[in-house]
Amino acid sequence: MNPSGHELFLSFLRLGLTAFGGPAMIAYIREMSVKRKKWLDDKTFNDGVALCQSIPGATAIQIAAYVGLRSRGIRGALLSYAGFGLPAFILMLILSSLYARYHEVPGIISLFNGLQVSVVAIVAHATYSFGKSTFENYRHIILAVASAVLFWAGISPFIVILGAAFAGIAFHGGKGISIAPTAEREPDGRNVKRLSMLFLILLLGLLAFYIADKRLFNLAALMMKIDLFAFGGGFASLPLMLHEIVTVRGWIDHKTFMDGIALGQVTPGPIVITATFVGYMLHGLSGALAATLGMFTPSFLILIIVTPVFDKFKASAYFSGATKGICVSFVGLLFFVAIKFSSAVPWDIIRVLLFAGGFVALFKKIDILYVVVITAVISLFLF
């Protein structure tokens, strides 16, 4: 049963209002789109999960777009994507505005002193869970360690990621993968026109940013670059944002960046909504718009382009090896980020206990929102 565009937007808007937990939302999207509304069957949905885990971008919001694409074409994908991400964007705008005004108030300082610790616990747990699901042999561990060392040595993470892709091809290329024939699909004329229109709108948007303020153009272009390399879900963008925004350009400091990640965890939606915070802190509302559009547009367009031919991609030994190598490298890069964030925290026994409690809670699969909120409440009393 094909839904209307109106139904897609409202359905994913409602989901987006409670989209805490990142990839955990995939189960709720499946329940709605496959079980209750029967927009897709199980096989089509599972193919979408495999696709969204193989391309850049935050997985849950990509799957929302995939459901819309399979149900209602490019227009449906755009409506689903916007509906799912809109609550996070609006709430992050509000929180960013409040943070910019009040972050030097003593009570707010106490709050974020504790939230810094929760951010370290979140990134450390992401490193552990990412590694557990990614490592298959000793070569993967070596590649992850090498990625962390190269990042520590100041090598651009984009170069590290490309190197990891070639290493993954060398490790996996041609091994144990059968290349099955796939049926050719004629391109839908309307979809080609709509895709062309999206590219045109993107170019016009970038031109508008450039004319209005070259800094907005540079911010949007940087976020697009980060999104293009963020394989493996939203957390994969953290090492790239840290490197480009904090280390290379010095637009904001480590503490402010960590505060943005903490705010991203109390909003629904993907962690890459931190881009909205970064943009707001740099250039206000226009910066938030530029950063958000830059962060979410490339992966959306990749989904639209790749979906019709994904069977060919996933059957390729080279594609499989490259994506595996990239995901392994992100474990090393996340480990580096965890160490870097840890060095920014003035550790004492209270903070160590808060970190241990947060990490264990996440390990026990307690919702990340509860971990952040409880840490914030404790911080108000202890710091």
Mean pLDDT of the region 63-71: 93
φ/ψ (deg, to 5) at 153: -75, -5
Lowest mean pLDDT among 2-6, 51-55, 142-146, 206-210: 51-55
- pLDDT computed for residue 189 by the predictor: 60
- pLDDT computed for residue 183 by the predictor: 42
Lowest mean pLDDT among 6-20, 68-82, 302-316: 302-316
Mean pLDDT of the region 283-294: 95
Lowest mean pLDDT among 51-55, 62-66, 287-291, 356-360: 51-55
Mean pLDDT of the region 69-96: 92
Lowest mean pLDDT among 18-22, 86-90, 121-125, 347-351: 18-22
24: confidence class by pLDDT, cuts 50, 70, 90: low
- pLDDT computed for residue 53 by the predictor: 76
Given a cut of 50, whether residue 182 has pLDDT beyond it is no
- pLDDT computed for residue 188 by the predictor: 57
Q: What is the mean pLDDT of the chain?
A: 85
